[in-house]
A and B are shown apart, each in its own frame.
Chain A
Amino acid sequence: MEYSSAVQRHFAAPQRARELQLGVPGLLAGEAEDRTLHVWVRFQLQVVEDVVAAAGFQVFGCPHTVAAASVVADWLEGRSVETARNLDVKALCAELEVPVEKLGKLLRIEDAVAACWRTAH
Chain B
Amino acid sequence: MSEIYLDYAATAPLDPAVAAVMRDCLEHEFGNPSSQHALGRRARALVEAARAVVATRVGAPSERIVFTSGATESNNLALQGVLRRSRGRPVHFVTSRIEHKSVLDVAHALKASGVTVTEVAATAGGYVEPERIVEALTPDTQLVSIMHVNNETGVIQDVQSIGAECRARGVLFHVDAAQSVGKLPLALAAAPIDLCSLTAHKVCGPKGVGALYVAPRVTLVPQLHGGEQERGLRAGTLATHQIVGMGKAYELADPEGEAPRFAALRDRLWQELRAIEGVRQNGDPQRRAAHVLSATFPGVDGESLRFELRDVAVSAGSACAADSPEASHVLTGMGLSDVLAGSSLRFSVGRFTTEGEVVAAAKRVAAAVARLKGLAKSAPTWCSA
**A1-B303, A11-B304 known; A60 vs B379 contact (CB < 8 Å):** yes
Distance (Å) between the CB of B364 and the closest chain A CB? Answer: 14
Among the stretches A32-40, A46-54, A85-93, the one at the interface with B is: A32-40
Residue of A nearest to B325 (CB): A38
**A99-B322, A102-B323 known; A58 vs B339 contact (CB < 8 Å):** no
- Per a CB cutoff under 8 Å, which of B307, B338, B380 touches A40? B380
B377, A58: Cβ atoms closer than 8 Å: yes
**Distance of A93 Cα from B374 Cα, bound (Å):** 23
Which residues of chain A from 7 to 65 have any CB-CB distance to chain B below 8 Å in the complex?
Answer: 11, 14, 17, 19, 33, 35-38, 40, 42, 58-63
Fill in one digit per residue for B19-57: 1 if any A CB lies within 8 Å of its CB, else 0.
000000000000000000000000000000000000000
B375, A37: Cβ atoms closer than 8 Å: no
A58, B375: Cβ atoms closer than 8 Å: yes
**Distance of A39 Cα from B299 Cα, bound (Å):** 11
Distance (Å) between the CB of A33 and the closest chain B CB? Answer: 7
Distance (Å) between the CB of B104 and the closest chain A CB? Answer: 23
Distance (Å) between the CB of B284 and the closest chain A CB? Answer: 27
B324, A36: Cβ atoms closer than 8 Å: yes
**Distance of A70 Cα from B352 Cα, bound (Å):** 40
Residue of B nearest to A42 (CB): B378
A35, B301: Cβ atoms closer than 8 Å: no
**Distance of A1 Cα from B302 Cα, bound (Å):** 13
Contacts of B379 in A (CB 8 A): 40, 58, 60
**A11-B304, A66-B304 known; A102 vs B322 contact (CB < 8 Å):** yes
- A residues at B contact (CB < 8 Å): 1, 3, 11, 14, 17, 19, 33, 35-38, 40, 42, 58-63, 66, 99, 101-102, 104
- B residues at A contact (CB < 8 Å): 299, 301, 303-304, 307-308, 320-325, 338-339, 342, 374-380, 382-383
Besides the known contacts A60-B383, A102-B322, A102-B323, 7 further A-B residue pairs in the complex with CB atoms under 8 A apart:
A11-B304, A14-B375, A19-B378, A59-B376, A60-B376, A61-B301, A104-B323
